[in-house]
Amino acid sequence: MTLHLLLKPLALFLLLLALPPVSADINPQERRAKWHATFKAAQPVGREIVTIDPQSVLNEAALQVGDVLLSVNDEVIRDGDQWWDIIYGLRAATETKLTYRRAQQVHSVSVVFEPVPLEQYDSLRTEYGFVTSDYNIRQRTIVTLPESEALLPAIFVVGGLSCSSMEYTPGRQSNFIRSLRYLVEHSDMMVMRVEKPGVGDSEGRCSQTDFLTELNGYEVALKTLLADARVDREKVIVYGSSMGSALAPYLANKYQLNGVISDGTFYRSWFEHMLEIERRILTMKGDDQATVNDKINRAYIPLYYGMLIEKKSYQQVIAQSPLLAEHNYHSPAHMYGRPVSFYHQMQDFNFAGEWAKLDAPARIRWGRNDWIMSEYDIDMLAQVLAAKGHNDYEVLKVPGLDHWDTLHDSALNSFQGKPGQWNEALPQQLVDWARYMQD
């Protein structure tokens, strides 16, 4: 069967107008949409519907829990990385074709999604825009700012590795997003975020975006911020989280920014990082150190050397050394949702060299229960800054803090996904640092 559930474009336009002040160029067809449903992987392809929220357009289309979604706009759903690209590719106010299986019958239905609500704040203006990277990818920017006749200090935000949105939307509850919202609301500064290609309202596909393409998007967005006539050019800092924290010194050096706030960073190459994190993971899984050492030498050194140093895919590495397959939990050509080309380029990026060149004020935070990034990296970059005579840096090691702005009793609890706690003192520290750098 084929159904056409078309919402009136005028109604969608009025819905957007009813939201708080935003840029005038918001086009409903450029706005992301949501399933308002949950899914699980199906075999051999597709996603089985697990739950459907009352507001989901799937209800109007008469889809049911247990139906298996096979394709979206005739693109067959094959794996998790592609599935996230499809999720972020959903757009409002435009017809989307869904093909699904119920029992042994295959059906098609056309639906039109409503737009995800825009960010809103009681005392801030939110501006949605786009920048176009040198790779011709339109990327969503989100700028928040207080009402002011004076030039504004500004914070440029760079997020982590994952294909996760930087936008605060209804229902998002991660502690990182809570901290980011706190920074926006309490800094009294202009704050710019840019979505990765294929994330949020941005064009492209995150699972296919390499490191240099992503970095270029940040640079184009930052140059737009620096050219904004409302910004005090001498009071622009960069706040980076996780991967973004390691890119922050590069951006500060290249664009003469006024400061760096680096949250959960690393210093060494990604090859070294992967070997160390595997050692921590194996230990937290209960392996004794003799077993850990054996697996590192026998499996993980050749696996990551092949991918990162020899620039191969995991599929190519395992084809040459089939015994590595049992230790590889990454997909054939991706790791953590990103293509192997991303890591090939990142391996060649000199993160340590950018830290060594940094002259701008720096504030570096690392959580003692952060099992993703190494304390030794933090100590190394502090030693480098001290050795070069940097006179305005601070390293803060926060008891209990993990990699995702959550306080835990132990790193193991974080690793096992146990609930932790969020404390507004964590983002307040970022606000205090930002204000100090703007004085």
**pLDDT tens, the chain, 439 aa long:** 333 333 334 443 443 444 345 554 678 889 999 999 999 999 999 999 999 999 999 999 999 999 999 999 999 999 999 999 999 999 999 999 999 999 999 999 999 999 999 999 999 999 999 999 999 999 999 999 999 999 999 999 999 999 999 999 988 889 999 999 999 999 999 999 999 999 999 999 999 999 999 999 999 999 999 999 999 999 999 999 999 999 999 999 999 999 999 999 999 999 999 999 999 999 999 999 999 999 999 999 999 999 999 999 999 999 999 999 999 999 999 999 999 999 999 999 999 999 999 999 999 999 999 999 999 999 999 999 999 999 999 999 999 999 999 999 999 999 999 999 999 999 999 999 999 998 8
Cβ contacts of 430 within 8 Å, gap of 6 or more: 179, 183, 239, 261, 263
Strand, coil or helix: 170: coil
260: nearest Cα among 293, 236, 288, 287: 236
Task: Report d(CA 158, CA 260) in Å as an integer.
Answer: 11
Cβ contacts of 192 within 8 Å, gap of 6 or more: 141, 142, 143, 154, 155, 156, 157, 221, 222, 224, 225
Residue 171 has what pLDDT?
84
Task: Report d(CA 30, CA 28) in Å as an integer.
Answer: 5
Residue 22 has what pLDDT?
55
Give bridge partners of residue 139 from the DSSP assignment: 131
Residue 25 has what pLDDT?
60
Taken in order of first residue, the domains within the chain and their CATH numbers are: 4-112 (2.30.42.10), 125-268+348-438 (3.40.50.1820)
362: nearest Cα among 398, 396, 382, 392: 392
238: nearest Cα among 250, 252, 253: 252
Question: Does residue 146 have a cis bond before it (omega within 30 degrees)?
Answer: no
Residue 21 has what pLDDT?
58
Residue 2 has what pLDDT?
38
Q: What is the pLDDT of residues 320-329, one digit of tens each?
A: 999 999 999 9
The sign of the dihedral angle between the CA atoms of 204, 208, 213, 215 is positive
Residue 27 has what pLDDT?
85
Task: Report d(CA 241, CA 176) in Å as an integer.
Answer: 9
153: nearest Cα among 122, 113, 187: 187
Which tokens in the block code for residue 390? Answer: 């940097």
Q: What is the model's pTM?
A: 0.92
Residue 15 has what pLDDT?
39
Task: Report d(CA 244, CA 221) in Å as an integer.
Answer: 14
How far is C-alpha 124 from the geometric centre of its chain's CA atoms? Answer: 24
Task: Report d(CA 213, CA 334) in Å as an integer.
Answer: 16
